Amino acid sequence: MSLNAVVMESAHVHEEDMARFIIDATKEVFSTMMVMEVEDCYPMVEPVNTFHCSITGMVGLAGSYTGILSIHCPALLAIKITSNMLGMEVEEVGEDVNDALGEIANMLGGHVKQVLSKGGLDLNLSIPTVISGETYTVSSLANHDCVVIPFQYDGERFLVGLTIRKESNF
Amino acid sequence: MSNILIVDDSSTMRKIISRSLRQAGLAVDNIYEAADGIEGLNALGTSPVDLILSDINMPNMDGLEFVKQARAQGCKAPIMMITTEGGEDIIGEAINNGATGSIRKPFTPDQLQEKLGGLI
């Protein structure tokens, strides 16, 4: 479960640097927007692609690179995150929780974009997509080009992943 | 007191910006919301606004096009881009289209106060 060397060489960063960047960005987003201090548990020991009672927020990157930045979060933690984000009690998974997870993915995608594209015009972010369910599996056709970072908050774990490929025509 | 238009496709982010404006102690009277550039332009046609806060990455009409069309319609209010997009070129394009400046997500109420205090 690692990032392709071509991607990292093109972006002038090492995989561990990219992982550290995602860790710092995630901690900043959670601390600033939710007043939640999360702990990273990098590196990931065992790959995970099946989730139970969870919500996944994703944003796509397209242009000089193609890929997906995703956050996978247990439903109860997602409710807690959304409550902190909005400053009000949220009781169940619904529009607010979905929107919050999408917005977190969007903010993290913006951070990654800044590493991969200093100018910003050669790489586009998609509108976020959110999926949720009792049991679902997330599969990538390029599993070897990804880095996944586990985080912990209050005894619950969530994952932030980046799957990416360099496009040769840029 | 000021009327502020928030243009962002995320309802969560619109709520956060509204709350942060009040936490920052800014002189806010009415806050209008729009979910994309098209709704933003429609809002400008019906409500007088003193400040516009707009996302860039939105469906239907993005923030870059919204700024361009708002200026073309004669909107004189300052327009601050609140966005995850921190690249120099994309912010430069927003400024060229008529934006006043930018605020990077995530942000704190203090950062909003610092950036917006002189505008309203």
> pLDDT for A32-88, tens place per residue?
999 999 999 988 877 788 889 999 999 999 999 999 999 999 999 999 999 999 989
CA–CA separation, A72 vs A6, rounded Å? Answer: 26
**What residue of A is the nearest CA neighbor of B93?**
A121
Q: What is the pLDDT of residues B43-56, one digit of tens each?
A: 999 989 999 999 99
Distance from CA of A34 to the nearest CA of B (A): 10
Judged by CB atoms closer than 8 Å, whether chains meet at A120 and B91 is answered as yes
Q: Which residues of B touch A36 (CB under 8 A)?
A: none
- In chain B, beta strands by DSSP E: 2-7, 28-34, 51-54, 79-83, 101-104
Q: H-helix or E-strand containing B21? A: helix B11-23
Alpha-helix residue ranges (DSSP H) falling in chain A: 5-10, 15-34, 75-86, 95-116
Of B19, B83, B85, nearest to A87 by CB-CB distance is: B19
Q: Give the three-state DSSP class for B50.
A: coil
Give the largest CA-CA distance in chain B.
34
Mutation pick from A127, A129, A130 vs chain B, by most beta carbons of B within 10 Å, is: A127
Q: Count Cβ–Cβ pairs < 8 Å, chain A vs chain B.
A: 72
Judged by CB atoms closer than 8 Å, whether chains meet at B86 and A120 is answered as yes
Q: What is the pLDDT of residues A106-115, one digit of tens each?
A: 999 999 998 8
Compute the Cα dihedral for B75, B79, B84, B87 and give only its sign: positive
Both tokens of B54, joined, read 């707009």
Judged by CB atoms closer than 8 Å, whether chains meet at A110 and B85 is answered as yes
Q: What is the pLDDT of residues A92-150, one digit of tens each?
A: 999 999 999 999 999 999 999 988 887 788 999 999 999 999 999 887 765 557 889 99
**What would the mean pLDDT of B85-106 be, rounded to a whole number?**
92
What pLDDT does A46 receive?
Answer: 79
pLDDT band at B33 (very low <50, low <70, confident <90, very high): very high
DSSP A165: E
Both tokens of B88, joined, read 């120099």
What pLDDT does B40 receive?
Answer: 98
What's the complex ipTM? Answer: 0.86
Judged by CB atoms closer than 8 Å, whether chains meet at A85 and B108 is answered as no
Distance from CA of A46 to the nearest CA of B (A): 31
Per DSSP, what are the bridge partners of residue A63? A123
Judged by CB atoms closer than 8 Å, whether chains meet at B87 and A113 is answered as yes
**What would the mean pLDDT of B19-47 be, rounded to a whole number?**
94
**What residue of A is the nearest CA neighbor of B8?**
A103
pTM exceeds 0.95 for this model: no
Residue with structure tokens 């289209």? B97
Judged by CB atoms closer than 8 Å, whether chains meet at A110 and B83 is answered as yes
What pLDDT does A12 receive?
Answer: 63
